[in-house]
Amino acid sequence: MSALRLKKREERRLQSGHDWVFSNEIDTQVTPIKNLEPGCAVTLESANGKFLAHAYVNPHSLIAARVTSRRAGRPFTATVLRQRLEQALDLRSYRYPNNFYRLVHSEGDFLPGLIVDRYDDVLVVQITTAGMEYFRDDIIDALIQLCAAKSIFLRNDSAIRELESLPLYREWVYGDAVDVLHVVENGLKFQVPAEISQKTGWFYDHRDSRAALAPWVSGKRVLDVYTYMGGFGICAASMGAQKVLAVDSSQKAVEAAIANALLNDCTDRFSAQCDDAVEAMRTLYEEGERFDVVVLDPPAFIKRRKDRDAGVRHYALNNRLAMRLLAPGGIIVSASCSQALSRDDLLQQMRKSIPKDSLGLQILAPLQQGADHPVNVAMPETLYLSGALARVV
């Protein structure tokens, strides 16, 4: 096993529990990295040669190494992988009565480069790093045994794989292919057509956010922007909203949302339209439409740090347009899945978006990813979803 030696004083972040080593932190004069095979196992050492951790490496990536074990005598193996999968499953089994959740949240579950979403006996797996790709067959075998899986889909088409010099592909690697992923959440049922699903299918991370909205919608008019499969809007309609309008730029997503409304017997209170979110909010305002509740759950506007300024402006624009549509005393659910935008940053944009004739904004509930997306306390990168349920007064 090759050793990578860090530059002087570069071990401090690693010793605090962080699991990434960046390429500029490695002393490449002492331990060259460029000829190492992507995904191969290495040991990490301090500048004086002291063992720090086991890791896997990718010389082509800015994140040159990811920690897999901190015990010198216990490198990462198929056995260790299975044990961590068992730990992840135990956490979800304790918290969720049904088998619908994110089973593995990458570094949040100490399995860097691996994401697994569970749809009962169907699993959607995403491998994003060369190091975890090496264990692909071991991952599949362990998941079949631990979850009694009938079908496993590898959704390995994330752009992150390109940074790791990995091929992009989608493949049903076990069992029969399924056309629809079934979800049970907060007492509601949803169907996600596999061919149009985003990322790993359903956004389980907002399960708690949708539950937090439920007590505030009875008898209200609700606008659900960036609805995707109708998660927030159908929750609102099922919890007694008078009328829900959902908006998404994908016609197929809109059709799936309408089908989900039918599945939950709320089509009389739920409608959906295909439109650009920003243009839809502008048009609704010009037409004099007002809503008691507006849900704003956009895609990540900041995917890379260089996009931060433009992304912040886009969050500001969306919040300003959404708040203009609120009736007096209206409630806004504003969320961000951009890790580079903190909750304080988002609240600042919400504050700046308050209409000038309003008294202010009351935070009724903070929003954060659910327990099936655990946060590694040493890695702020694993806390990516933030937001607030708030009232404009």
What is the end-to-end Cα distance of the chain in Å, rounded? Answer: 62
Pairing relationship of beta strands 326-336 and 291-296 according to DSSP bridges: parallel
The label of the residue with tokens 């040669």 reads 49
Look at the domain 2-69 and name its fold. Answer: 2.30.130
Whether the predicted model's global pTM rises above the 0.75 cut: yes
Residue count (the chain):
393
Look at the domain 182-392 and name its fold. Answer: Rossmann fold (3.40.50)
Which segments of the chain belong to CATH 2.30.130.10?
2-69
The pLDDT score that the predictor gives to residue 198 is: 73
Can you tell me the distance from the alpha carbon of 365 to that of 131, in angstroms, rounded to the nearest whole number? Answer: 39
How many degrees, rounded to 5, is the angle at CA 360 between CA 354 and CA 362?
A: 110
Q: Residue 36 is encoded by which pair of tokens?
A: 């190492």
Mark residue 165 as left, alpha or beta (left: phi above 0; alpha: psi -120 to 50; beta: remaining). Answer: left
Q: Which member of 147, 235, 266, 337 is catalytic? A: 337
pLDDT digits (tens), the chain, 393 positions: 799 999 999 999 999 999 999 999 999 999 999 999 999 999 999 999 999 999 999 998 889 999 999 999 999 999 999 999 999 999 999 999 999 999 999 999 999 999 999 999 999 999 999 999 999 999 999 999 999 999 999 999 988 898 888 999 999 999 999 999 999 999 999 999 987 767 788 999 999 999 999 999 999 999 999 999 999 999 999 999 999 999 999 999 999 999 999 999 999 999 999 999 999 999 999 999 999 999 999 999 998 878 899 999 999 999 999 999 999 999 999 999 999 899 999 999 999 999 999 999 999 999 999 999 999 999 999 999 999 999 999
- Residue whose C-alpha is closest to residue 36's, from 55, 15, 17, 14: 55
Q: Could you tell me the CA-to-CA distances from 180 to 32, 153, 200, 260, 355 in Å, in that order?
A: 48, 12, 13, 12, 42
Q: What is the CATH number of domain 78-178?
A: 3.30.750.80
The pLDDT score that the predictor gives to residue 165 is: 85
274 is catalytic: no
Which segments of the chain belong to CATH 3.30.750.80?
78-178
The pLDDT score that the predictor gives to residue 305 is: 78
Give the up-direction half-sphere exposure of residue 340: CA atoms within 13 A in the CB hemisphere. 14
Q: Residue 199 is encoded by which pair of tokens?
A: 């990322």
Which segments of the chain belong to CATH 3.40.50.150?
182-392
Burial-class residue 306 by CB neighbours within 10 Å (0-12, 13-18, 19+).
exposed
Query: Dihedrals φ, ψ of 363, to 5°?
Result: -80, 120
